[in-house]
Amino acid sequence: MDKLCVRVGTLDDIGGVLSLLFEVAPEIPLHVDNQERRDAVSQMVHDTIAEAISWVATDTLDDIVGFILAVRDRYERFQNDDGLIELKYIGVSERERGRGVCSLLIAQMKAAKVPLTATVKNDNKSGMAARLEHSGFQFWADSPVSCERKFKWSPKEAANTPSSATVPSR
């Protein structure tokens, strides 16, 4: 089994993250079927990684095999002073699935000990809702209009609840 490295994403990672995001886009689903949409996604990835709170997993060749794109929720941060972070997209390359890459990335986000939220589209094909729940996220809201489910994780609630989520040792 190859060794994985998990680190904060940098602007140098944009190409690798985009390549992997385009690979997993049909599962999310994320529409990248024309140049205008690909350009918009590219700008979003740039802006998200520029915040320096997104994480990438790399293999021994330093190829990106997983990522979490995250942004600070500025409104929540201003209103409640709690530093809430929204997980925008999570992806793992097909060849690395089943190795705990997603769990490692989520654990890195949780280590910041700030509230996390994630939104999963109802037609998501990656099983992300179940992965989030396994990682200690709680179902928070259902949006029939936008056809998505919202999940949250709170360090305060996690401290009071025994977790069944474990991160595989490497």
Within a domain: 47: yes
How confident is residue 47, by pLDDT bands cut at 50, 70 and 90?
very high
DSSP string, 69-111: EEEE-HHHHHHH-S--EEEEEEEE-GGGTTSSHHHHHHHHHHT
Residue 161 CA to residue 126 CA, distance in Å, equals 26
| pLDDT for res 144 | 74
Domain that holds residue 23: 5-160
Look up residue 158 and give its amino acid: A
Structure tokens at 161: 């609840």
d(CA 61, CA 89): 23
Cα(158)–Cα(38) distance, integer angstroms: 37
Domains identified in the chain, total number: 1
> What is the chain's mean pLDDT, rounded?
89
CATH number (domain holding residue 48): 3.40.630.30
Question: Lowest mean pLDDT: which of 45-49, 72-76, 107-111, 149-153?
Answer: 72-76
Q: Residue 169 domain-assigned?
A: no
pLDDT of residue 73: 82
pLDDT at 169 over 50: no
Read off the pLDDT of residues 106-160 as tens digits, 9 standing for 90 and up. 999 999 999 999 999 999 999 999 999 999 999 988 877 779 999 999 998 877 7
Q: Does residue 167 lie within any of the structural domains?
A: no
Say if residue 58's pLDDT is above 80: yes
